[in-house]
Chains A and B, each alone.
Chain A
Amino acid sequence: MELTDRDRAIYEWQIWVNGLGDSGQQKLKNSTALITRVGGLGGPLAQSLAAAGLGKLILAHGGNTKHSDLNRQILQTHDQLGKPRIESCRRRLVELNPQIEIETCGENVSEENVRGLVSGADLVFDCAPLFEERLLLNRECVRQQKPLVDAAMFEMEGQLTTIIPGRTPCLACLYPEIPPGWKREFPVIGAVSATMANLAALEGLKLLAGFGELLTNTLLIFDARSMDFRKIAIQRRPDCLVCGSCRPPGVQEPS
């Protein structure tokens, strides 16, 4: 799909960004992103992608809105309490940008739905709070060779990396097993998760529009207490059970 005059009017100020331009905006318009869990991370991320004119968003987010969501899940509203979160996500994003397509799934990622959710996307964003879900999504992205932007946070810290299966470490290279002692409820300030969300959104926009440098083979660590950003060089594990046998797209198996 070509850009229309209306598109050019709406996205004019970002088309001015060096490297994005008309062609980058057109790529965004023709792209689909999957966001799994649209809460403190996924919510602001979806908002930034919708505002930037990403053509289609697939959103997976289960459960009903609770009081304790409201400090960070910025797509949820007080009048939505007790109702499915995904409805509020859709409503607020449609208000923000009625021109993009939004597909919703009122469940979190599971063994049953992961294959279908990933197959419809050009790019996947992992924003889930449970490691089971994150590693499941990672495995499926490696299997389908889909890029995965992995954003995470805890208290006043955040981490971010962009995974290109076969070319960069996958999530299981970074942590091959589910960490013990993880509690589903943990300290979160919405501004910290939204910071990581918007950094993740920038990774996705650069990847899809084809400009700038990505956090590939690199883990960004953000410390909101000291306002330090650190870039850590990360490596694939040759014995990774998920991506160990995975080659970069286009590279043949040796004969």
Chain B
Amino acid sequence: MPALQAFHDSQRPLASIFQVKITVQLLGQARQLSPTERVILHVEEGASVDELVPHLLTGAPDSLHLILSERSNEVQQLRRSVMAIRNNETIEPSARDLLKDGDEVSLLPPMSGG
């Protein structure tokens, strides 16, 4: 594990008063394609879910990039077919200032029939 985890820990600054800790949980197909099911990110306070995506996908396999992200105006953002859930509510991926320290964000690519 967690190649991703190691990367994120190495990015963690020593003093982080303007940073919040967000746990990102991958669900469904994203969970199956990821080397790790949960990723802890330390991001700037006020960051949107879209802004978590480049951190989340650093070093991730192409298949996970395809499912979770898309480019809009040259910026990598959460793919619009993926549901973003903050704790137990859906959240608009582009909205800033909603994520609080300690929040859990789940990313759910849609599932289908069995």
Residue pairs across A and B with Cβ atoms less than 8 A apart, 11 shown, are A39-B113, A39-B114, A40-B114, A134-B112, A153-B113, A154-B28, A154-B29, A180-B66, A180-B81, A230-B88, A232-B90
> Which residues in A have some Cβ–Cβ distance to B below 8 Å?
37, 39-42, 72, 126-131, 134, 151-155, 157-159, 174-182, 186-188, 192-193, 196-197, 219, 221, 230-235
Q: Do B114 and A127 touch across chains, with their CB atoms under 8 A apart?
A: yes
Measured CA separation A141–B68 after assembly (Å): 28
Q: Do A231 and B29 touch across chains, with their CB atoms under 8 A apart?
A: no
Measured CA separation A158–B110 after assembly (Å): 10
A152/B112 contact (C-beta < 8 A), A180-B66, A180-B67 known: yes
Closest to B89 in A: A233
- Residues of chain B within 8 A (CB-CB) of A152 are 110-114
* B47 proximal to A (CB < 8 A): no
Closest to A44 in B: B114
- Residues of chain A within 8 A (CB-CB) of B82 are 175, 179
Closest to A36 in B: B113
Q: Do B67 and A181 touch across chains, with their CB atoms under 8 A apart?
A: yes
Interface size on B, residues (CB 8 A): 24
Measured CA separation A166–B108 after assembly (Å): 24
Measured CA separation A181–B81 after assembly (Å): 12
Q: Do B108 and A159 touch across chains, with their CB atoms under 8 A apart?
A: yes
- Residues of chain B within 8 A (CB-CB) of A176 are 80-81
* B109 proximal to A (CB < 8 A): yes
* B94 proximal to A (CB < 8 A): no
Name 20 extra pairs, CB < 8 A, besides A72-B114, A154-B112, A197-B114.
A37-B113, A39-B114, A41-B113, A129-B113, A152-B110, A152-B111, A152-B112, A152-B114, A157-B28, A157-B31, A179-B79, A179-B110, A181-B66, A181-B67, A182-B29, A192-B114, A196-B114, A233-B88, A234-B83, A235-B90
Looking at the assembled complex, report how far the CB atom of B10 sits from the nearest CB atom of chain A, in whole angstroms: 29
- Residues of chain B within 8 A (CB-CB) of A178 are 81
